[in-house]
Structure 1
Amino acid sequence: MITRDLAGFFELAHNTPTDFGPATARAAFLVAPDGFRLAEQSAQDNAYMAAAGAFDAARASMQHRELQRAIATAVPAICFAGNPQTPDAVFPNNVFGTARGRYIVGRMRHEVRQREAARADMRDFFRDVLGRQEIDLSTQPHACELTGALVIDRVRGLGFCGLSERCDEAGARLMHEAFGLRATLLFDLAAGEYHTNVVLAVLAGRAVVVCPNGFADAAVAAAIAALYAPHAVVCDAAEHAAFVGNCIALSGEGVWMSAQAATALTPAHREVLAQAGLRVESVALDAIEAAGGSLRCCIGEIY
């Protein structure tokens, strides 16, 4: 099922077994912020990006290295070299994704990011080292920026796909098929939002963080929160702006977010996560956040 019908989707979702796959990834991959700078094409539809003068390449590199060291305490974490010709490559989950026995290459909206999909070393790693079947969506015309646009509940096989200039309905259908999902809900993001994973995170299949102001229709956000209640963090405007929604569970015990996000997270919402068995782990990423993404955007998952 791939649908915009809230009633139909959530009737299925509430009765979907938690046997689709593991709740969290086996490993993580990152791409170093080499050549870190403002990507002017990406800034056209990413309101979170700072002005060029706010980019600090040395600080971004230091923070990214610390991010790898930190998350390696939860899962094996490998880092590919960056490329000065692809300044957004520090956010690799939009371009490369994994599912059972396969890896998926996304179709990026902007040409500066389309270059990332052509990386032979990363394709060789997934295909030849990990032995994954390739599903290449990068050469077709429909934008589908993988787990930036599509938030996946891996234990239920459910997808939540926010449509914007970074993903259209045809692209969403291609991702639904590539990841082999049971059901995917389509909805519009609010004006000014570019990726679903900035405003929504499903954590180990048992909790959710949702930013209602990021949805064109608040009813969609409310229905998603209800699916995971009582373990639903419904972010206020300050939490939304601080990237609380851009978090990830890398194990069944912890949820990772940036230091800015962890500071903005209210005590009540921290307790919601604790009740779900998830302690908050954080890493300072303010330099990288200048590029319009935060911790979850930096992490590609290997399932």
Structure 2
Amino acid sequence: MITRDVDLFLERARACAPDFGPATARAAFLVAPDGFARAEDSARDNRYMAEADAFDPARAMREHRALHLALSQHLPTVCFAGRADTPDALFPNNVFATAPGRLIVGRMRHPVRRREAARADIRAFFRDALGYREIDLSTQPHPCELTGALVIDRARGLGFCGLSERCDETGAALMHDAFGLRATLLFDLAPGEYHTNVVLAVLAGRAALVCPDGIAAPRVPEALRALYGQGAIALSPAERAAFVANAIALTSDRVWMSATAAAALAPASGDALRGAGFAVEAVALDAIEAAGGSLRCCVAEIF
């Protein structure tokens, strides 16, 4: 089921047991920030992106390596080389995503990002090394920027898809089918927001970080509270601007976010995360954040 009707979605979602699949990934992959620079195409609809003179490629590379080292202490983490003609490639979760046995390739809005979808090495890794079946959405015309636009509760098979210029309703339906989800709630993002995963994170199927000011539909936070109870943590505009919602649970007991986000985390938000059973792990990514994304954007999950 895919719908904009919050009540209909909740009726279906409440009936979904946490038996759809693993709540967290078994591995992750990154793409190094080789060629890191301001992509003017992407800057047209990403208000979080800094001006070109704020980009520091050497520092971004050091931060990315530190992220790789940190994540690899907790789960297998592969890093592919970047390329000079794909300056946004360090955010691979918008282009590549997985479900058990399947690689999904998204359709990017901007031409500079469509080049990433053509990466033969990444496709071959999943096809030839892991034996995954490929679902290629990149050649159809509807934007569907995967887990940038679609936040997934992997335990229950639920999707939360914010619509913007980077994902339309047809693209959302294509992703719903590709991931095989049980139910997906569609809603409009607030004006100026480009990706759902900047304003919403579902953490290991039992908690959620949500920025009400980033979502145009006021009943979406209500739906999250109905599903996750005290684990639905409403964030302030300041927390949103610091990328607190651009976080990810890669294991059942830890939430990863940038050092900027962790510093902006309100005491009540931190208490709520700890109450839900999560420790906060932080990695300095302020150079990378100049590109308009943060830690979750850097991580593509392997299920």
Among all aligned residue pairs of Structure 1 and Structure 2, give the percentage whose two residues are the same amino acid. Answer: 70
Question: Is the contact made by 1:38 and 1:291 (CA closer than 8 Å) also made in structure 2?
Answer: yes
**Secondary structure of 2:65's match?**
helix
Residue equivalent to 1:171 = 171
AA partner of residue 273 (structure 1) = L
Residue equivalent to 1:129 = 129
Taking the aligned partners of 2:22 and 2:217, their CA distance within structure 1 comes to 30
Shift of 1:125: 0.3
AA partner of residue 179 (structure 1) = F
**Secondary structure of 2:230's match?**
coil
Question: Is the contact made by 1:212 and 1:222 (CA closer than 8 Å) also made in structure 2?
Answer: no
Residue equivalent to 1:182 = 182
Taking the aligned partners of 2:104 and 2:224, their CA distance within structure 1 comes to 26
AA partner of residue 20 (structure 1) = F
AA partner of residue 23 (structure 2) = A
AA partner of residue 24 (structure 2) = T
Residue equivalent to 1:96 = 96
Residue equivalent to 1:149 = 149
Taking the aligned partners of 1:212 and 1:228, their CA distance within structure 2 comes to 15
Paired residues in the alignment total 303
AA partner of residue 156 (structure 2) = R
Residue equivalent to 1:40 = 40
AA partner of residue 62 (structure 1) = R
AA partner of residue 284 (structure 2) = A
Taking the aligned partners of 2:186 and 2:201, their CA distance within structure 1 comes to 15
Shift of 1:185: 0.5
Taking the aligned partners of 1:131 and 1:223, their CA distance within structure 2 comes to 37
Residue equivalent to 1:207 = 207
Task: Within 5 Å, give how 1:1-303 maps onto structure 2.
Answer: 1-303=1-303
- Across the aligned residues of Structure 1 and Structure 2, the Cα RMSD in angstroms comes to 0.6
Taking the aligned partners of 2:7 and 2:226, their CA distance within structure 1 comes to 13
AA partner of residue 82 (structure 1) = G
Shift of 1:225: 2.9
Taking the aligned partners of 1:224 and 1:107, their CA distance within structure 2 comes to 27
Taking the aligned partners of 1:84 and 1:176, their CA distance within structure 2 comes to 32
Shift of 1:15: 2.0
Question: Is the contact made by 1:30 and 1:300 (CA closer than 8 Å) also made in structure 2?
Answer: yes
AA partner of residue 264 (structure 2) = A
**Secondary structure of 2:216's match?**
coil
Q: Which 4+ stretches in 1 moved above 3 angstroms?
A: none
Taking the aligned partners of 2:232 and 2:53, their CA distance within structure 1 comes to 37
Shift of 1:224: 1.5
Post-superposition CA distance 1:66-95 (Å, at most 9, x none): 000001111111100000100000000000
Uncovered stretches (5+) of structure 1, i.e. residues with no partner: none
Taking the aligned partners of 2:247 and 2:292, their CA distance within structure 1 comes to 14
AA partner of residue 236 (structure 1) = S
Taking the aligned partners of 1:260 and 1:17, their CA distance within structure 2 comes to 35
Post-superposition CA distance 1:230-250 (Å, at most 9, x none): 112100011010000000001
TM-score w.r.t. structure 2 length?
A: 0.99
**Secondary structure of 2:151's match?**
strand
